[in-house]
Structure 1
């Protein structure tokens, strides 16, 4: 049994879908399925019940899941535990930041960096929330600001800001509107954010739009936020973004675009502070930094 067998098993167990697990692991579905079957043969246990409609954990799979997570967690912690044990001088540590971070949170990060200056150099590291969560988990980042939801049980997560979202629509088509109803968007195509940067919450929004009859989609496989703004400005599409005029996402606005609140939907993108539970425990090198971050961002709890 190799570590990758456990990693593959955990991915399938968490997603209960081989295709989604394969995407998460950046691999094809067929080799993933073969590796899981190899693990089942080695253990002499069936781990999943498979059908054309669903994948479910068997009792053996349910018993293995916490054991596998614990093994992967311990192995993943080796690099940062070793660095902390060998640490002797002031070090540089990184905090993850997602795209479009609100200025109020940036200001708090600056306060944290100045407060920590006597012990560590705190630097920002950009990335999509899924990648930042993974980097906090394996110790490459000391902590991160991420978009909810986060499903990693090894991380502690606390909400720090909820930003109201609105529809970015062609201004000429919605002249005089103070808000927009979902039914008014059915003739336009919805353009989601670039897939690499899209928070998981936007999958829930996509489902809500679809249920309301907004069925048209435009995908930009190599696009960015400026490309989305071009489509909206041309009058054929709409997107979803922050309503707050202070949000840096407003910088992507073009002529003939306006961001309006929804009249029959109240979406919010929630940003949270995330840190590894083990690294916040007394005795950990990063415990003081994490405690300072919690205080600056107004996070309660242990």
Structure 2
């Protein structure tokens, strides 16, 4: 972060945190001076020095509720962002916890800013260099569900994300309704949901649901064809002396798949009497 002019006594967390001040912008950082097991408490956000902020977020606050922000007033301000953080800022319980890997002396102290911030006062382009780097960081409100997947999030962020999903779903339903009836009669006479018009693709929720439906239809068709191939191989083995459960093969449950014989039309294999010629004349075996 940019150089600060601290208004608190330093070091504020001298037993656990080493602050490295650099004059270049966004290069100051903090290192751990202690060992903490995974999810152990690294520090508390105590009152004092912390205070509830008046107004909205600033570069020096962390969000602790839907409309509530906290002034850290300590060297904790020198803990930078990372897309693969070493710390968890649990602002709901005023705890700073070690991440799933724990902490060792010399580890850089970082946390995932969107885990506390819905909309940040000063967005920036992340330079953490991690494989999972999200790029532009401006708060959870501007991130997709995929970008937030697998990251610990505070309760107020999860609640706001659920509200966003509900709003998107309502918008998708309203948009689809304007484009016509969403139901159509199925082959068995029961109404089923039709595919959404493609002009709703701009809505992420509608597009995701449509993509899931398309994928499911492909899986069903592939499964039908795989089952057809398997049953046909069983029929072939029966003709040449193999065994099947209960004799004749029944394809009646697989209607609609091209290449299936009609139920009851498949021929059983030749009997021993046919093979021995007892039925008279030459026996023709159809395969």
- Give the TM interval when normalised to the shorter protein: under 0.3
Q: Which has the larger radius of gyration?
A: 2
The normalised TM-score by structure 2 is: 0.22
The normalised TM-score by structure 1 is: 0.22
> Which structure is higher in RCO with an 8 Å CA cutoff and minimum separation 6?
1
**Higher helix share goes to which structure?**
1
